[in-house]
Amino acid sequence: MASRFIFWQNINSIHQSAFLRALAERHEVILVTSESTTGREHMGWTEPSLPSVRCLRMDAFPWMELIRSSSSDTDCHVFAGLHAFPRIHEAFLAAVARGCRIGLYTEPLVREGVLGVLKDIRGRVDGYRFADAIDFILCIGPESRRQFLKWGFPANKLFNWGYVTEEQAVHDTDHLTDPRFRAIFPASFIPRKGADILVKAVQSMKHRTAIHIDAFAIDLRTINSWQRAWKEHAERTSAISVLPFIGNDELLQRLPSYDALLLPSRHDGWGAVVNEALMAGIPAIVSSRCGASTLLDGRPLLGTTIAPDTHELASCLDAFVERGKPMAHERHAIRSWAQKHISGEALASHFLSILHNRVSTTTTNIHAPWESSSFHTCTTA
């Protein structure tokens, strides 16, 4: 099995850092990026610290030499997406030509419209060109796996995967001092994230006066007419406050003070904020169109999966209000489950199991940490 892992990503991501740090405790890890996080600063992102990972920028070193000098016996190159980032794809094609050992991790492509049809055709071409060259694919969310199967990639090369977020210290909060049920929507205030679905759902709730939702969702410097109109609709409900984005560190500090996270997206490859909510001990109401909804399957304590539908979300919110705020022991149980099954260490172990599976002469089923039958029931005991 490989002993050195080279990850090629567009940025040093807060949704990969815990995994890379945990993996680097066991093996040599190199992270090569094509961009900085500057483009996401308006959303509160900052560059993660990875002292045990060798971090390189493609424009600051001769990256082709890293591929040319690679050994297929000891090195494994793992690329973010196919065609997602031009410079990363350039490195991927160079690794294919060199005969390197290659892995891929990727979210599903958007399926709707003409663009979705064209991407689907390209996916089938990619299956013909690269199915043999790629050793394994880490499929982010169930839809990603379905797409790669449809494109002709072998099932034994596809493994379920997800993003991972940093563990956080959770302190006593004031979530019991406000009698209202308090929820948080920390996502862009756009149609894809279901902002309008959320507003219309709250407007039709039975218990609208018993809930308050903080939507940290806009950049006041770039707010557009759609956002401005729906912001006004939201604030007329008296139950939703549409607020500017906050930094990720501040978000992690605030999360434990809420009673639920809301993410009614029409499409979301994963939705890493669901991981952050569970790490903070709060349940999530998540659209079935989010890859992270797989974390909630069969585990009602962790939250509920809904269709991205106004009436279904309204009914779900009313049910949560009627049930009441999560109790302290429930919050603790959610945190305990998350620390065991969606931490950086859990994903690092899963990754190494996948690599072992690919070189093993015996066939075994590899389950993601949250999928094993022994994890399937989450209780408050």
Name the amino acid, one letter, at 114: V
What b/e string do you get for 205-220 counting C-beta neighbours within 10 Å, with b at 16 or more? bebbeebbbbbbbbee
The runs of H, that is alpha helices, within 36-85 are 63-68
Query: Residue 376: which pLDDT band, with cuts at 50, 70 and 90?
Result: very low
Tens digit of each residue's pLDDT (9 = 90 or more) over 324-352: 999 999 999 999 999 999 999 999 999 99
Length of the chain: 381
Nearest CA among 276, 242, 270 for reference residue 256: 276
First to last CA, the chain: 39
Look up residue 299 and give its two tokens. 């585990």
Look up residue 103 and give its two tokens. 């892995």
More confident residue, 40 or 50: 50
Residue 373 has pLDDT above 50, yes or no: no
Q: At what angle do helices 344-359 and 17-24 cross, to 10 degrees?
A: 60
Residue 381 has pLDDT above 90, yes or no: no
Cβ proximity of 269 and 183 under 8 Å: no
Tens digit of each residue's pLDDT (9 = 90 or more) over 205-222: 999 999 999 999 988 889
Q: Which CATH superfamily hosts domain 181-338?
A: Glycogen Phosphorylase B; (3.40.50.2000)
CA dihedral 74, 80, 83, 85 (to 10 degrees): -110
Q: What is the mean pLDDT of residues 240-248?
A: 93
Least confident of 20-34, 122-136, 162-176: 162-176
Helix or strand holding residue 275 (H, E): helix 273-279
Least confident of 20-29, 105-114, 318-327: 105-114
- CATH 3.40.50.2000 maps onto the chain at 181-338
Query: Residue 2: which pLDDT band, with cuts at 50, 70 and 90?
Result: confident
Q: Calculate what percentage of the chain has a pLDDT beyond 90.
A: 78
Q: How many CB atoms lie within 10 A of CB 54?
A: 13
3-class secondary-structure state, position 33: strand
| Average pLDDT score, the chain | 90
Q: What is the mean pLDDT of residues 64-76?
A: 89
Q: How many CB atoms lie within 10 A of CB 58?
A: 19
Residue 204 has pLDDT above 50, yes or no: yes
- C-alpha–C-alpha distance, residues 253 and 271, integer Å: 19
The CATH code that applies to domain 4-164+343-375 is 3.40.50
- C-alpha–C-alpha distance, residues 138 and 157, integer Å: 9
Residue 230 has pLDDT above 90, yes or no: yes
Look up residue 342 and give its two tokens. 């969606």
Least confident of 107-116, 131-140, 161-170: 107-116
Cβ proximity of 356 and 1 under 8 Å: yes
More confident residue, 39 or 165: 165
Q: How many CB atoms lie within 10 A of CB 368?
A: 22
Query: pLDDT value at position 71?
Result: 80
Query: pLDDT value at position 374?
Result: 42
